[in-house]
Amino acid sequence: MEELLIDLYGGQFERELLAEIAAVGIYKDIPADTILMDFGQYVKSMPLLLQGAIKIMREDQQGDELLLYFLEKGDTCAMTLSCCMGATKSEIRAVTETDTQLILIPVQHMESWLGKYKSWRGFVMDSYHDRMMEMLDAIDSIAFMNLEDRVMKLLQEKAQIVQNKEVYNTHKELAQELHTSRVVISRILKKLENEGRISLHRSHITLIEADV
């Protein structure tokens, strides 16, 4: 674990902070499609992603979900920070997009490190900024992009995460993430295939335009 921490944060965190993370952090190796945090839960720790990806979902009053953003290697979640430090219930669902390795930092250490380590304060503030920009990007996509472009954007993001042109998601899963119906997604995917932008298969989608 210490080697992974040094590889990811050695140029960012003080040596003393890295040692504390290694001492108090709880290492987890989690398979894809695992719910890490759910709506209404109290959050007692903050994740640092060592490998893999996590998708962050929001729920509306009807119980439908919308993808806000992905967390990737080296990231943490600003909403998790807010819930931990404010002792409030989660308003998001965090699900592993791929097999994921992470370290969970207990809330009491998160707070003490804010005053103790300048690098940790910077990391937390940068995380808030990055997640805010990603949420603004999600809002812009809903407000200004048509659904066909949003589908293509989501497929490209997933391809970038796994560094592979093959995306293994069902039409239903894509529909849930984009807050629409499976029928609509299936129709759009077929249109994209007819345009030569993707290729549909029984278990996956191949991106022809992807740059990974």
Question: Would the pLDDT of 198 be above 90?
Answer: yes
Question: Would the pLDDT of 175 be above 70?
Answer: yes
CATH number of 146-207: 1.10.10.10
What integer pLDDT is reported at residue 117 of this predicted model? 94
What integer pLDDT is reported at residue 210 of this predicted model? 64
CATH number of 2-143: 2.60.120.10
- Three-state DSSP at 101 gives strand
Beta strands in the chain (DSSP E): 26-30, 35-37, 45-51, 53-59, 65-72, 92-96, 100-106, 166-167, 198-200, 205-207
Q: Which CA distances in Å does 153 have to 45, 59, 172?
A: 31, 21, 17
What integer pLDDT is reported at residue 52 of this predicted model? 95
137-144: average pLDDT: 88
> pLDDT tens across 85-125, in order?
667 788 889 999 999 999 999 888 888 898 899 999 999 89
The residues spanned by each domain of the chain are 2-143, 146-207
Cβ contact 189:151 at 8 Å? yes
What integer pLDDT is reported at residue 91 of this predicted model? 85
Return the minimum-mean-pLDDT range out of 42-51, 78-87, 110-119, 182-191: 78-87
Structure tokens of 25? 């952090």
